[in-house]
């Protein structure tokens, strides 16, 4: 299978048609466990996000934008590959809902990622933050199309200080490229450090097309904030945190949510300011969204949270900006997904989209510019490997073991409060047919994940 990837790359290099000046830059700012209501511009009064609000005013809010899973690993696999997680066998870790330290499983190197698509079109590619698609050397971002990687291999709570006695995790590794440079880095400074590396990458590559993927570990538990954003925090909270010792006080750190989001907002501002300073602002598409619903924050008007296939688990607060190309100050309620970014970015970059394999995402550029409606007749919700629901137009049908359980009209009932199952038999039948057909189709077209023998947790090599 790896031969197909090589042939694909060589073929693209021979058929590039856009000059470097014609190619837009792309920046994905991706947070962790941030809910639909956890931005000021999405109605959140428990947070303050002036830079993201400004980004929305200069761009658009996407109010029906979905990730393909309600937890970390599968959501990221879908973003990278443009496919439902089940299709690339990344709906779960080896023996848990997500990949853990030293997992034998990872995203198959034969998959063609969004980074590989853009790299084949002449882009410089960098990831700064949380990967979570495999921590073994064979699965790291540098093996999946990224020129640069500075970050952590998975969630920052997969560390020895986890409060649950169920887990005995090894130290958390911080990597620069494929080299472990620190063990258990001070998590208070991760948002700052990842932002600074992304800024540096933009400055070094502003004269050629680039792709920045900035997947922040925050606001996933435990919350960490750098000192400048701790001003005004209750001294009693600071005193408790100063006494944490061998265990992180997750409950007390939950109270830092406003500060954690403020630092994320600062990060967005740093990226946007750098684009302007480097003279590439008008040629750069920036999109901000989260990997799944909230664990600490709020899903606003939506039902459900992280781990749920109700809207609150998978519909994300999403802001997109490209001056002069995406209409400013508008809301776009067309159904779009994180899987759409691979084909959309690839098309804008003049890259060849893989056609020898199924890609579930669609080119949604005409939708973003207001020239067309969503190309998705339906969108499917999974919990792990299990198909849970489908949305088609305004209708969403939940099912369980092949039987319909709940039907909602999302345009009039965004909170999924009024079950119309009994009053709309025709809609139920149509959506049931969609579910049955898709379950059969995807089960017959699953590409395997990759596995390594004798996986080991990452560690620093002693000199």
Across the strands, what pairs with 290? 31
Distance of CA 424 to the CA centre of its chain: 34
User: Considering all CA atoms of the chain, what is the largest pairwise distance in Å, rounded to the nearest integer?
Assistant: 70
Q: How far apart are CA 152 and CA 185, in angstroms?
A: 10
Placement of tokens 């100063």 in the chain: 242
Measured N-to-C along each axis, helices 190-204 and 257-277 cross at an angle, to the nearest 10 degrees, of 10
Nearest CA among 81, 55, 52 for reference residue 69? 81
Active-site annotation holds for 132: yes
Report which secondary-structure segment, H or E, holds 387.
strand 386-392
3-state secondary structure 17-60: CCCHHHCCEEEEEEECCCCCCCCHHHCCCCCCCHHHHHHHHHCE
Tell which phi-psi region holds residue 184, choosing left (phi > 0), alpha (psi between -120 and 50) or beta: left
- Report DSSP state, residue 257: H
- Given 41, 46, 83, 132, which residue is catalytic? 132
Active-site annotation holds for 72: yes
- Given 41, 46, 72, 162, which residue is catalytic? 72
**Secondary structure of residue 182 in the 3-state scheme:** strand
Number of C-beta neighbours around residue 22 at 10 A: 12
Number of C-beta neighbours around residue 109 at 10 A: 18
Q: Looking at the annotation, which residues are catalytic?
A: 72, 132
């Amino acid at each position: 299978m790896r031969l197909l990837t090589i042939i694909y790359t060589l073929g693209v290099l021979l058929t590039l048609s856009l000059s470097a000046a014609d190619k837009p830059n792309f920046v994905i700012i991706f947070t962790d466990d941030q809910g639909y209501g956890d931005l000021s511009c999405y109605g959140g009064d428990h947070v303050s996000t002036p830079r993201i609000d400004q980004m929305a005013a200069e761009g658009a809010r996407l109010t029906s934008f979905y990730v393909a899973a309600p937890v970390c690993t599968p959501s990221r696999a879908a973003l990278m590959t443009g496919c439902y997680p089940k299709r690339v066998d990344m709906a779960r870790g080896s023996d848990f809902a997500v990949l853990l330290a030293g997992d034998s499983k990872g995203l198959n190197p034969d998959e063609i990622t969004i980074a590989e698509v853009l790299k084949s079109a002449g882009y410089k590619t960098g990831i700064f933050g949380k990967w979570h698609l495999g921590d073994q050397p064979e699965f790291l971002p540098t093996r999946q199309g990224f020129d640069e990687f500075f970050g952590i291999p998975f969630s920052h709570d997969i560390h020895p200080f986890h409060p649950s006695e169920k887990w005995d995790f090894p130290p958390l590794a911080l990597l620069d490229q494929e080299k472990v440079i620190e063990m258990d880095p001070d998590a208070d400074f991760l948002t700052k450090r990842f932002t600074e590396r992304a800024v540096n990458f933009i400055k070094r590559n502003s004269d050629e097309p680039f792709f920045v993927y900035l997947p922040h570990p925050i606001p996933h538990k435990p919350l960490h904030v750098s000192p400048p954003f701790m001003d005004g925090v209750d001294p009693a909270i600071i005193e408790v945190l100063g006494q944490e010792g061998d265990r992180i006080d997750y409950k007390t750190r939950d109270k830092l949510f406003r500060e954690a989001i403020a630092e994320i907002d600062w990060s967005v501002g740093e990226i946007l300011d750098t684009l302007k300073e480097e003279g590439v602002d008008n040629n750069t598409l920036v999109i901000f969204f989260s990997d799944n619903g909230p664990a600490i924050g709020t899903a606003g008007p939506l039902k459900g949270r992280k781990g749920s296939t109700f809207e609150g688990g998978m519909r994300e607060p999403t802001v997109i900006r490209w001056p002069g190309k995406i209409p400013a100050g508008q809301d776009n309620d067309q159904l779009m997904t994180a899987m759409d970014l691979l084909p959309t970015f690839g098309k804008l970059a003049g890259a060849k989209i893989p056609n020898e394999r199924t890609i579930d995402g669609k080119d949604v550029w005409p939708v973003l510019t207001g020239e067309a409606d969503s190309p998705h007749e339906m969108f499917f919700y999974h919990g792990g490997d299990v198909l849970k629901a489908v949305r088609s137009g305004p209708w969403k049908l939940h099912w369980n073991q092949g039987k319909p359980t709940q039907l909602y009209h999302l345009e009039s009932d965004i909170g999924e409060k009024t079950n119309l199952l009994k009053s709309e038999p025709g809609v139920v039948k149509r959506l049931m047919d969609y579910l049955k057909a898709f379950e059969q189709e995807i089960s017959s077209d699953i590409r395997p994940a990759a596995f390594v023998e004798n996986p080991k947790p990452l560690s620093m090599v002693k000199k």
